[in-house]
Structure 1
């Protein structure tokens, strides 16, 4: 288990929500020093603490552990979902349109390569 990667994801999610370490610590009943140590990968954490943090951050445990978990189809879909879930409906629609456009170009490239 790479605790530095886990800590980085926790920090990114905390910052995405514009929370300080102190505010997050208060919400999950931990010390801010401990939150800092977790984010720097200096301390391990219990499953209970990981779940509390994931819930408070509006994240999922599998997303926070995504660097440590082998990615399967369902995990990949969850990672995509986690990436856009905190965005506005307008931003989500824009992301969907970009994905559709990207796959449209990939399909056209594939058809072009088949002809060559």
Structure 2
């Protein structure tokens, strides 16, 4: 299996999430301890990221590393949108919700 990372697509997803979060390149750079120029190169796909830099960017943008690396699937967007909704909810209720989702997922072919 010989697959290459599409750094242009990766940069595009980073840029989209940066804009969604209302951040400038300068602000993202500051939060990730990188220069705005470096962020610009990353977003254009002209600079290869280290794992550490990719991880920092993902943390600041509140997305998973796999979301940035791989083409997002519609289900990923749904799961990412659920997390903020459950953020301040009682942990027991969240666990109940997750168990319900788990049971549904395990039996999805029977629905």
- The TM-score normalised by the length of structure 2 is 0.65
In structure 2, the residue matched to 1:78 is 76
**Where do 1:46-65 residues align within 5 Å?**
46-65=50-69
- Corresponding residue to 2:17 among 7, 13, 18: 13
Contact 1:4 1:41 in 2 (8 A): yes
TM superposition shift of 1:45: 0.4
CA RMSD after TM alignment: 2.3
Aligned CA distance change for structure 1 residues 35 and 20 (closer, same or farther; 3 Å): same
The normalised TM-score by structure 1 is 0.62
The correspondence of residues 1-116 of structure 1 with structure 2, limited to 5 A, is: 1-67=5-71, 77-82=75-80, 84-85=81-82
The 1:3–1:80 alpha-carbon spacing in structure 2 relative to 1, beyond 3 Å, is same
Quickly say closer, same or farther: Cα 1:3–1:85, change in 2 above 3 A: farther
Residues 85 and 39 of structure 1, relative CA distance in 2, 3 Å threshold: farther
Displacement of 1:77: 3.9
User: Structure 2 stretches of 5 or more lacking a match?
Assistant: 87-111
- Cα deviation for residue 79 of structure 1 reads 4.4
The Cα of 1:13 is off from its aligned counterpart by 0.4
The answer for unaligned runs of 5 or more in structure 1 is: 90-116
